[in-house]
Amino acid sequence: GRRIAIGPHGLARWGGIVAVQVFTPMGRGEGALDALCDAAAAIFPDGLTLQGEGPIRFTPPSTRALPQDGTWLAAIVNCPFERDRA
């Protein structure tokens, strides 16, 4: 984390990524893979804030295709987030 100045005592900001691997059989096509990736990204959309010991804020997700193995189409959906803690 890094120290940021919020309030009189400051907070430590931590970042991370929720990574979702998505697979579909090659015969179903890239449209099916894209639909699954969109569904995964919609779980952690830009601006989503979860409450716990401190708020967790998600920023825009991104999708990256993975190498094909001849049987599966695959991609990874990265959903970055930040969390501030005292």
pLDDT digits (tens, 9 = 90+) for 43-61: 999 999 998 777 899 999 9
pLDDT at 3 over 70: no
pLDDT digits (tens, 9 = 90+) for 9-56: 667 778 899 999 999 999 998 999 999 999 999 999 999 999 877 789
Question: What pLDDT shows up at residue 36?
Answer: 97
Strand pairing of 62-65 and 2-4? Answer: unpaired
Q: Where are the alpha helices (DSSP H) in 1-86?
A: 30-43
The Cα–Cα gap between 69 and 53 comes to: 42
pTM: 0.82
Question: What pLDDT shows up at residue 1?
Answer: 53
The Cα–Cα gap between 4 and 85 comes to: 10
